[in-house]
Every structure is written in C-alpha cells, then in structure tokens.
Structure 1
Amino acid sequence: MENNWKLVAVTNCPAGIAHTYMVAEALERKARSLGHDIKVETQGASGVENTLTAQEIEAADFVILALGRTLSEDDRRRFAGKRVLEMKISDALKNIPLVFNTLEEKAMLMKEASGVRLGQQPVKADSIMNHLMAGVSAALPFVIGGGLLVALANMLVQMGLPYIAQGNNVSPSFTWIVESIGYLGFKFMIPVMGAYIASSVGDKPAFAPAFLVSYLANDSAMLGTSSGAGFLGAVVLGLSIGYFVRVLRKVRLGNSLQPLLGSMLIPFVTLALFGLLTYYLIGPVMAGMMELLLHLLNTIPMSMKLGAACLVGAMLAFDMGGPVNKTAWFFCFSLLDKGIYDWYAIVGVVALMPPMSAALATFLAPRLFTEQERGAAVSTLVVGATVATEPAIPYALAAPLPMITANTLSGGIAGMLVMVFGIRRLAPGLGVFDPLIGLMSPWYSFYLVLGIGLLLNVAFIVIFKNWWMKRQTLRTATDAI
C-alpha cells in the first residue's frame, strides 16, 4: 500500500451531532497512522466546517464520502473526475480499517456533471445578492402555492360559490377556507426568506433563530406597530443573524462539546439576543421604515410613480438575470406580502418581452440574424412566453448595443403602461397564461400592454440592429482600405 496518499473526505449524518464528528476523527486518526495526508469536511449541526478547497480536491488521490444524508448536485459536482469511495456513515463507523484497505479497489471515478445554467450570470458565492437570492428562492414556493390558492378562491366566487368568513357560530365557506390557506403562503414567505438568507451566510445554526425573529418582526400585534417589518426586516435580520452566527461558529469548545455548539448554544444565544433586539429596537424601526415606504408608494403623484415604474421596467429588461435585473425583481417581489401587486405585474409583463421580441424580430427581419439565431427562434418564443428570459441572452450577446438598447427602452415604456392600466399580479406563474389561472388582472389590460410592449420592442430591434449592422459593414470596409 502506498504511504503518501493525499485524501479528502466528507462526513455527515441526519442529526449532524454524533456520527459526523466521530467518523471524521476516526478517519483522521487512521490516515495518520498509515502515513496518509487527509482533510475531512464535516457537514454537521454547526454547518459545514473545515471546508475543502478546490485546490485540495484537485490534489487528492482519493475522495471518501461517508454519508448519512445525500449531497446536493452542486456539492457532488466538486468531485467530478476524482476517484471516490462512497459509503454509509454507519458502515464507516463500524469498520474504519476496511475503508482504507479497500479504497484503491472500490473507489469509482465520479462522472463530470453538467455545469451549464442557461441565463444565469455568475454571482460571487459570498456576495450579498447571492444570499438575498437564496432567501427569495426559498420563499418562491410559498408565494406561488399561496397565490394560486387565492386566485382559485377568487375564481370560484366569480363562478357563484358563496364566500362566508369564519365568525361566532358561523361556519366558513369553502372559498374562504381555500383563500385563508393561500394567504398562509404570503404570511410565511417573509420568515422563510429571512431564515434562508441567514442560512446562506451562517449555515444551518442560523436558520431557526432567523425564522423566529423574522416572524416576530412581522407580528405587528405583538410589536404594537401598525405594520410589520416586511422584506426590509427579513433582509436586515437575515444578514445580521447570518454574519453573527458565522462568527460564533469559529468558537472551539473541544471534541466533547463542539457538537453542541451548532445544535444548542448558537440557536439559544442568537435567538435570545436578536429576539430582544427585534422586540425593542429592530422590529419597531424596520416596521416604521416599511410603513413609510408603503405610504410613499400609495401616495406619490402618478407622474413620480410612472417615472419609478419606467426605471423598474428598464432595469428588468437591461441585463436579463444580471444584478440590475435581480435588484428590480427583488424589490417588486418583496412587496407581495403587503398586498401590493402592481409592481410585480411589471415583472410579469417585462420578463416576457426580450425573448419573445427577439424571436418575433427574427421572423419579421430574418436578414438581420444568423442562421443559428433563426433556427432557435421558435423555441425562444415558446420558452420566453412562460417567463424564462434566458433564451434572449444569445441574441443580446451577438449584438449587445442594439438588442439591449431596444429591450431597455421598451421595458421602461411597458413598466409605465402597467401602472397606467392598473394591472396586478398575485404571484409568479406561467407568463402569458397568468390571466387564465387568475394570477394577472385585468386580463384584457395585460394582453393589451404586452402587445404594445412587444410591438415597440420588435420595432426598436429592427431599427437599431439594421443601423448597427450598417455601421459594422462600413467599419469593416474602411479597415480593409
């Protein structure tokens, strides 16, 4: 047996308290006795500790995965192309010597995983935006499920079913029950958002304190405020708790007490500290700021509101999934729990326009596009119609100046039209089909504004790209001379 293997390992178990650390310590002790170098990443109750770097994985001869719960695809992707021995953590605990005796024989090459993510512009792993989007991604199912149930209840009422609220000696109607269940999604979207923002920063120990404290910050009855802290509270508390927990996780208490740090001590200290801070200070302050924002959105003159809507629409269309788009999207989405639906309607219209317009322009002016772009037009139109903006990106990359300019101008105009026509969107849905499932209203205004937006976007693309291609041809001819 070789005496100079470089090994890396990952251990985890369902509880993340005992076996995770016991197996990690046993692997380290046995590897040292055999003369091997090893680094073990533990994914326990305190979160990921002793994280393996890309350089350490690249240099390793073998990877040992002793698992009690599955790794995510992103986690597994780190070990693509490496020789990996994967086993149950319970088996590893029973026979550590067997792990090393059979490692060379049983290790299997982990296949390369696809890293293609259409339309996703890279975001720095530890950036604020990355943490915020982790919270939004977790909150989306709550809003989608809740929004669909609220829309279903409204449709049933329109069809003639009775709507009776629960009261003393009064049985609620079916429509009221469905609507109430739906509104639970909006109620819990903010605590879930705050919890996952904190978890993205500080890992699992930050989750529970952030969830409970974010819920407290939105309980206006307990805080004695007229409004909850809303998404502002979720962002501030999620980030604050996440970074606080990240610092606490660096505390070392010894092998016997270390497992208790993440499962007991960190949640207790964090919840006590931030719970009191939220009740006496952060909650009331954030609630006041949220109340001021809501008052501003509801009372500003229409001219100023149209200007803001134009800006939001332009930002949404500008970089199709990039940081500018995400900033505008996050603002609109975060207002849903406060019952403000017109800003999210801008997302519902503008997100459709870049891909659909690129495809329609390809049909109307094929000479302005390459054979590959023309071949992708049908799929771009179909996918774009269901609020997947990514298919527009190849068209924008091929001719950035005319395509992005056309998208941004038409997106700004469409944003203003959404406000003028009073369009509302309850939750994320199915793009052009949103009015059919009750998420977008009024339906006729939505299709009218979308039609105007697409017409303008296509016209701008044809005009700007035609001018751009002539300039490119002229420049090429000049360079040739």
Structure 2
Amino acid sequence: MINMKIVGITNCPAGIAHTYMVAEAIQQKCESLGYEVHVETQGASGVEDRLTDAQIKEADYVVLALGKGLSDEDRIRFDGKKVVELPVSEALKHIDTLFDDIDSKAVVLYASKVKLGNEQAAVKEGIMSYLMAGVSAALPFVIGGGLLVALGSMMVQFGMPNTALAQGTHPSLAWVLTSIGNLGFTFMIPIMGAYIANAVGDKPAFAPAFLVTYLANDVDLLGTKSGAGFLGAVVIGLSVGYFVKYFRRVKLGKALQPLLGSMLIPFITLLVFGLLTYYLIGPAMSWLMSGLLDFLNTIPTSMKIGTGFIIGAMLAFDMGGPVNKTAWFFAFSLLSSHIYNWYGIVGVVTLLPPMAAAISTWIRPDLFTKQERGSSISAFIVGATVATEPAIPYALAAPIPMIAANTLAGGIAGALSIMFNVERIAPGIGIFDPLIGLEKPWYFFYLAVGIGLVLNVAFIIIFKGAWLKREARKAAQ
C-alpha cells in the first residue's frame, strides 16, 4: 500500500528521551517506505504535534509506543481504528520490522470494550509503569524544589544571611527560597502516591490517594518516628488505585450513576483508606521506612560499596529500560528522606554509556558504522545533559560488547560514587549539576565520572574489537 497513512503516539514515564527518539524513528521509517505519517508526542513538555481528528479519521493504522499508558480520552479518539501497540522501550528494537505485515499485528480498538496490548506484556510492565507514572509527576516538584534549595545554599555560601522567620524579625531571602524549595520535597511523595493511584484507577482515585499519602507522611498526626516515605506512596497508591478501579464497576442505576465518580468514590475511598492509614498502613509503613533508613545509614562501608556497584550496573544495563528504572526509582525515592548518596550514583552512571559510545567512535572509528559516527556528537551532548537513551542505538548494533562494557563500567562508577559519598539532591542537567549546587562534592563527582568514562571507553574498544573479529571469523567459515 504505497499511499498508506500512519498516525501514532509516543510517551514514556520521564517524557524526555524515549518519547522523542521513538517518534523520530517512526517518522523516518515511514518516510523511507513512502507512507504519510503524523506522530504525537506526550512528553515532559506536554502534548506536541497533537493529531487532528481528520488525521486520525484518514489513517489506515495507528501506532502506539507507550511507556505510561493511554488515557481514556485518547482511547476514545482511536475508537474503531486498527491499532498496533508496543512498549516504548521495545520500539527502537523492532522499528525495522514494525510495518512488515502490519495488518496481522493490528487490533481494532473499541474504546469501551477492548484493552490494547499483549496481556503478558501488560502484566510484566504494568506495576512498573504505574510507579513510573508517579515518579514522572513527582519530578517537577523535586527539580524545582531542588534548584531553589541549591540556590538558597549558594547564597549562604556567598555570605548572605540565613535568618529564619521569627516573631519581630523578617526572614532572609535565602531562608525563604530554601523553605519554598523544601515544599517540593514535602509534596513529592503525596503526588507520587496520587499519580500511581490515578494510573491504576483514573481520576476518582487521585484526591483520596493524595490526601491519604500526605497523612501517612505527617509524623505529627500519626505520632510515628518517621513518615511512610516512598514505601507508603507505593502501597497506598496501588491499593487506592485498584480499590477505585473495581469500585467504578458498581452499577447504581441512571439516577445515581453520575454521582459515583464525582462524590461516592472519593468520599468512601477517603473514609476507608483514611482510617486504614491512620490505624494500620501509616504506622506499618513508617516502621518499615524507619528500618530501611536505619539499615542504609548503618550498613558497613564495604557492603555499601558492593550495593553501589549493583545499583550502578543496573542503571547502565538497559539504558532507560525496566532494570534501569528499578534502580533509578529506588535512588530517587530516597530523596524525600534526605538520603542523597544513592541518587548521587544516578548522577554519575547515567552520563557514561552515551558519552563513552561517542568518545569511542572518535578514538576507534573503524569499530563503528558511518551512521553511528554521525550520531556521536548528538549522543555526547544529549547524554551529558539529559538522558542515557542515546546509547541505545549503539547497544542495538552490538548488544553483547556494548552492554557488557556499559554494565561493568557503570558498576565500578557506582561503587566509586558511594565510596566518595557523592550526593545529588535533585534531577538537573547532568554534567553541569555541580555548577548549580545539585551535586557535591564537585571534585569527587567529576573524578568518579572521569574514571568511569575512561573505563567505559576502554571496555567498549576491547570488547567490541574482539566481538567484531569473532563475527568476521564466523562469516569467513
């Protein structure tokens, strides 16, 4: 079908790298096949290149590359269309064959009846996608709050006063900025719980989950040693979400049905989970969180370094995939408890794979294709400032040597980060984080990154060189 028309949507939990890389890949593949294509991105900046009703109506197929699911409103837009859905993390791997025999892959979407996607994939990725929906929503709170806290700290370091609010005195600007920034850390956990619940049970779950998660983290109300933290957000978010999801199936008749989502579900959910949280979930999660924090603060240094190696290796292993997201979620979630050294590993390791791949193309161009060499500058810049995902095309071209090199170097860099006690207080702009006060001490941060980069580049050159020689021998036989 030469004049085939394709429309698509791409999104991912963070809304930064995969969203736009996959959209570009779909557009390039369709254009190479002579298809008309329009792709809507649902990224960190909101919806861009939104599909029009006319484009959707005229489309032969809809491609959905999703990392955080599709809203009910979006499903309605594609009602009756032939749809191919796949995880956004898998899209780049399958882009070359995605449109081969597309009709056999497509499923007609009936918005009110059919659940898109492979059931096994949905089960495998469902919980993590819900958690990452919460993290994605919490990110702006931590980024904005972290930058303000860093700015207030820098002002104090430059000699400006840090005067707190007190009767008869006016607070200093540095104190005000720090206090506003700390609100971001206060609300990141309730927002995380609310959006986890929203991802499972939709809008009626949002408000109850937010309020109950806030309750679980208010030590004055609960009388506990610590708040429930991210553990509470996960448990409450998922519990409220699934409760509301099944509650919405209740049939009350035409007169009362409109009240279900707007009044009955929020009220009953808040009543049930408010009491459960006050008497059971909150204290239990607070006890677990206190135990986790005590463990992280008291484990021997050797065990910390070993754990740092594991976290670093996980972050580098699949470059934005589920293993990476699991390690990232653990480190990120501890920020609300003012534990920053595990997130310091994220700041170091996520820079390495794309930057190392780019540098390797400059040192040993004969090991890489023309296309890989041409993408090196972009991979270096984006990798240094935003995300790990630009390393994915290099890993797809030679998975065994590239993934092995990244994982080993990432593990070593993670261990060094813990050994040097590198701390990162919030997501920022990668290699420049120390310059804006988000990563410290700056000299150990750059030392860990430098050692990690040298090792990563060396491993890539050694492993890929050996791999290519082996492939050449196999081809000659």
| In the alignment, structure 1 residue 266 sits paired with structure 2 residue 265 | yes
Relative to 1, partners in 2 of residues 1:76 and 1:212: Cα closer, same or farther, differing over 3 Å? farther
Relative to 1, partners in 2 of residues 1:347 and 1:121: Cα closer, same or farther, differing over 3 Å? farther
Distance 1:315 1:177 in 2: 38
Distance 1:409 1:162 in 2: 46
Q: Match of 1:353?
A: 352
Q: State the shift of 1:388 in Å.
A: 1.4
Q: Match of 2:130?
A: 131
Q: Match of 1:171?
A: 170
Q: Match of 2:449?
A: 450
Q: Match of 1:318?
A: 317
Deviation >3 Å, runs of 4+: 71-81, 115-126
Structure 1 residue identity aligned to 2:326:
T
Q: Match of 1:397?
A: 396
| In the alignment, structure 1 residue 82 sits paired with structure 2 residue 82 | no
Structure 1 residue identity aligned to 2:348:
V
Unaligned runs of 5+ in 2: 1-45, 60-80, 94-120
Distance 2:49 2:292 in 1: 38
Relative to 1, partners in 2 of residues 1:257 and 1:73: Cα closer, same or farther, differing over 3 Å? farther
Q: State the shift of 1:242 in Å.
A: 0.2
Q: State the shift of 1:253 in Å.
A: 1.3
Secondary structure, aligned partner of 2:122 = coil
Q: State the shift of 1:258 in Å.
A: 1.1
| In the alignment, structure 1 residue 247 sits paired with structure 2 residue 222 | no
Relative to 1, partners in 2 of residues 1:201 and 1:329: Cα closer, same or farther, differing over 3 Å? same
Q: Deviation digits for residues 148-191 of structure 1, max 9, x if unmatched?
A: 00000001011110011222333221111100000000000000
Q: Match of 1:331?
A: 330
Distance 1:391 1:83 in 2: 33
Distance 1:118 1:307 in 2: 28
Q: Match of 1:161?
A: 160
Distance 2:358 2:53 in 1: 37
Distance 2:157 2:278 in 1: 42
Distance 1:116 1:224 in 2: 43
Distance 2:465 2:188 in 1: 46
Query: Is the 8 Å Cα contact of residues 120 and 321 (structure 1) preserved in structure 2?
Result: no
Q: Which structure has the larger Rg over C-alpha atoms?
A: 1
Paired residues for 1:271-282 under 5 Å: 271-282=270-281
Relative to 1, partners in 2 of residues 1:138 and 1:78: Cα closer, same or farther, differing over 3 Å? farther
Relative to 1, partners in 2 of residues 1:371 and 1:74: Cα closer, same or farther, differing over 3 Å? closer
Q: Match of 2:215?
A: 216
Q: Match of 1:7?
A: none
Q: Match of 1:236?
A: 235
Q: Deviation digits for residues 97-117 of structure 1, max 9, x if unmatched?
A: xxxxxxxxxxxxx9x9xx996
Q: Match of 1:428?
A: 427
Distance 2:266 2:291 in 1: 32
| In the alignment, structure 1 residue 440 sits paired with structure 2 residue 439 | yes
Distance 2:144 2:325 in 1: 22
Distance 1:191 1:251 in 2: 27
Distance 2:230 2:349 in 1: 23
Q: Match of 1:189?
A: 188
Q: Deviation digits for residues 202-222 of structure 1, max 9, x if unmatched?
A: 000000000000000000111
Unaligned runs of 5+ in 1: 1-70, 85-109
Q: Match of 2:77?
A: none
Equivalent pairs, count: 382
Q: Deviation digits for residues 41-61 of structure 1, max 9, x if unmatched?
A: xxxxxxxxxxxxxxxxxxxxx
Distance 1:374 1:368 in 2: 10
Distance 1:216 1:285 in 2: 13
Relative to 1, partners in 2 of residues 1:217 and 1:362: Cα closer, same or farther, differing over 3 Å? same
Q: Match of 1:256?
A: 255
Secondary structure, aligned partner of 2:385 = coil
Structure 2 residue identity aligned to 1:201:
V
Q: Deviation digits for residues 338-358 of structure 1, max 9, x if unmatched?
A: 000110010011000000000
Q: State the shift of 1:427 in Å.
A: 0.3
Relative to 1, partners in 2 of residues 1:304 and 1:397: Cα closer, same or farther, differing over 3 Å? same
Q: Match of 1:300?
A: 299
Secondary structure, aligned partner of 1:254 = coil
Q: Deviation digits for residues 349-370 of structure 1, max 9, x if unmatched?
A: 1000000000000000011001
Query: Is the 8 Å Cα contact of residues 89 and 321 (structure 2) preserved in structure 1?
Result: no
Relative to 1, partners in 2 of residues 1:404 and 1:155: Cα closer, same or farther, differing over 3 Å? same
Q: Deviation digits for residues 54-73 of structure 1, max 9, x if unmatched?
A: xxxxxxxxxxxxxxxxx967
Distance 1:204 1:377 in 2: 43
Q: Match of 1:30?
A: none
| In the alignment, structure 1 residue 201 sits paired with structure 2 residue 200 | yes
When the two structures are superposed, what TM-score results if normalisation uses the length of structure 2? 0.76
Distance 1:386 1:74 in 2: 24
Structure 1 residue identity aligned to 2:426:
A
Distance 1:469 1:77 in 2: 47
Paired residues for 1:38-117 under 5 Å: 81-82=56-57
Secondary structure, aligned partner of 1:329 = helix
Structure 2 residue identity aligned to 1:412:
G
Greater shift in the superposed pair: 75-84 or 424-433: 75-84
Distance 1:239 1:318 in 2: 27
Distance 1:120 1:220 in 2: 44
Q: Match of 1:22?
A: none
Query: Is the 8 Å Cα contact of residues 317 and 354 (structure 1) preserved in structure 2?
Result: yes
Q: State the shift of 1:81 in Å.
A: 3.8
Q: Match of 1:284?
A: 283
Relative to 1, partners in 2 of residues 1:338 and 1:156: Cα closer, same or farther, differing over 3 Å? same
Q: Match of 1:151?
A: 150
Distance 1:73 1:203 in 2: 23
Relative to 1, partners in 2 of residues 1:120 and 1:188: Cα closer, same or farther, differing over 3 Å? farther
Secondary structure, aligned partner of 2:136 = helix
Give RMSD over aligned pairs: 2.5
Q: Deviation digits for residues 122-143 of structure 1, max 9, x if unmatched?
A: 9738700110011000000000
Query: Is the 8 Å Cα contact of residues 148 and 180 (structure 2) preserved in structure 1?
Result: yes
Identity rate, percent: 65
| In the alignment, structure 1 residue 369 sits paired with structure 2 residue 368 | yes
Q: Match of 1:26?
A: none
Q: State the shift of 1:121 in Å.
A: 7.5
